[in-house]
Structure 1
Amino acid sequence: MAKGSRQAAWEFFGVELKRRREDAGLTQVELGIRVFVSGGYIGQFEQAIRKPQLDVARRIDESLQTDGIFERMWRGLIRDQRYADYFAHVADLERSATKICDYAPAVVPGLLQTPAYARAIYFASNPLVAEEYVEEMVQARMDRAEVLADPTRPLYWAILHESVLRIPVGAPAATSQQLDALTAAVRARRAMIHVLPFSAGAHPAMGKMMTLMEFDDAPPAVYTEGVLAGNLLDDPAAVKRAQAHYDLLRVAALPLEASLTMIESAARDFERCAPTN
């Protein structure tokens, strides 16, 4: 679904939500209490500023007795078969974010991956899968990355643990090219990338990836991910705590130029390991 038509569909979701709520004689605050969100969130759903999560859509159906219509609309709008169910909403939020801050403990964040690097990751986790499926997943990841090439792109900040630079993903040449792509993104001013070196020792997010997102007309959110599961949080206290962790990581990370030097050095190490023709 094209971006414009998707937004129009979400606007219809909001209009229908407002109509059904008013028919039930409920204010935004009253419906919010019933579905465990604030009245302000209900207003943002109705204006298509923020999209509800699936459990909220289900509770709206229960509260308004709408026979599952909002869950069905949610599934038709938010679910993209190219993404895992737990990540589809995050991919949608990336398109409207004004600022994205990633912390990556082991692999390059998806928005910065090259096709060869992404392909190697998919094959590593799905060694027997059909190549056509992998290519579709890689293309989905490249489509996501277009958000950083858009003129209205969000401010993007990434902190990479040094492990990201040292773990070979695919052939040495693929890893080298991926690292070169990171420095190119910084030089082109599409991203700010810092490295958290091994020497930094223990830190607040050990082994845990996280993505912080900010928006013009909606509260910030944080996304964390484990094995076959993800967690999107917009509770103010949780987001504030995640932001504090990210600030500590930023303090412990190397300055920009020192980070680029380390990334470039790692790229050359992998390049020397690549076979020559």
Structure 2
Amino acid sequence: MDETTEPEHLNPLQRYGRDVKKVRLARNLTQKQLGRAAGYSESYVSRVEAGVLLPRPSDKFAEGLDLAFGTGGLFYDLLRRIDEGDHPSWFVPYLAMEQKASRILDFSTSLVKGLLQTEDYARAVYRNAYPHAEKEVIDAKTAARIHRRKVFDREKPPLFWGILHEACLRTEVGGPEVMAGQLEHLLAAAESPQIDLQILPFSAGAPTANGMMPFTLLTFDGSPTVLYAEGPQGGKLHDSAKTVTAHVDIYDRLRAHALCPVNSLALIKSHLKEYRNEP
């Protein structure tokens, strides 16, 4: 196989790497020269072209490619499409809003919010949801979900307030070891000044009118709050003032019924001990 021959079946990262390689060769650049122009090492370029850089090439690298190639944002946009392509189409509009939100208020009912999932937990979720999918598909979806954490790396990251029903701690995803890692991650996340967590215990009953349907409220500087609500056919964004206000009230009621942050962390630690089989 010569340098320009590619296999027919490529995953999104491999296709991206193929395109980088094609343009690099067309510009008569070596990997070392491209790396220098983009501000990265030769080995970084090599891994990108091979499609093995996980979770995916950085935004800064894509911007460096466009500068080096003179492609006017093409490779940056292709990277965005990789992210979008590994999420269901109905979820893509939410992703765009999540990236701009100043506050994220979330109620999770049985699974930990995607933004707070560990890689092993996310992979187990996708493996259960797509039992017949190839490993590469599961890996790509997992990488896209973990990449969402980048929202907390912004210069002004959003404030995240999460209310997790105790079922999130009890629903065993991926086995005890994966769950232990996930609860450890929640405890570590709660140490961030940007993140507040509360647990709604089983003993609180069902204090809301919408039962146990998860939802997220996104607030923005200078723009109205929007609601993202999930249902059997997927999720949907709502900007109706009446609908949003009703869910703001529900969220306030959930906070009132949930354990305080200190007691919430204590409950997480208690469940963590169970998964570790500690006395």
Deviates more, 1:90-99 or 1:201-210: 201-210
Say whether 1:245 aligns with 2:250. yes
Say whether 1:192 aligns with 2:196. yes
- Structure 1: how far apart are the matches of 2:81 and 2:189? 31
On the 8 A contact 2:83/2:144 being kept in 1, the answer is no
Are the structure 2 counterparts of residues 128 and 79 from structure 1 closer, same or farther at C-alpha, using a change threshold of 3 Å?
closer
Match of 1:203 in 2: 207
Runs of 5+ unmatched residues, structure 1: 7-75
Are the structure 2 counterparts of residues 77 and 217 from structure 1 closer, same or farther at C-alpha, using a change threshold of 3 Å?
farther
Percent of pairs identical after alignment? Answer: 34
Match of 1:32 in 2: none
Root mean square deviation of aligned Cα: 2.5
Amino acid at match of 2:87: Y
Q: 2:220 aligns with which of 215, 224, 247?
A: 215
SS at match of 1:242: helix
Are the structure 2 counterparts of residues 79 and 272 from structure 1 closer, same or farther at C-alpha, using a change threshold of 3 Å?
closer
Q: 2:264 aligns with which of 237, 259, 265?
A: 259
On the 8 A contact 2:169/2:183 being kept in 1, the answer is yes
Amino acid at match of 2:259: L
On the 8 A contact 1:79/1:89 being kept in 2, the answer is no
Q: CA deviation at 1:228?
A: 3.6
On the 8 A contact 1:105/1:206 being kept in 2, the answer is no
- Write the mapping of 1:46-195 to structure 2, written as runs, cut at 5 A: 80-195=84-199
Q: CA deviation at 1:79?
A: 8.8
- Structure 2: how far apart are the matches of 1:81 and 1:223? 20
Are the structure 2 counterparts of residues 78 and 231 from structure 1 closer, same or farther at C-alpha, using a change threshold of 3 Å?
farther
On the 8 A contact 2:165/2:199 being kept in 1, the answer is yes
Are the structure 2 counterparts of residues 215 and 109 from structure 1 closer, same or farther at C-alpha, using a change threshold of 3 Å?
same
Amino acid at match of 2:230: E
SS at match of 1:189: coil
TM-score normalized with structure 2 length: 0.69
Runs of 5+ unmatched residues, structure 2: 1-57, 64-79
- Structure 2: how far apart are the matches of 1:171 and 1:131? 19
| Consecutive aligned runs of 4 or more in structure 1 exceeding 6 Å deviation | 76-79
Higher helix share: 1
- Structure 1: how far apart are the matches of 2:171 and 2:118? 15
Match of 1:229 in 2: 234
Q: How many residues align?
A: 205
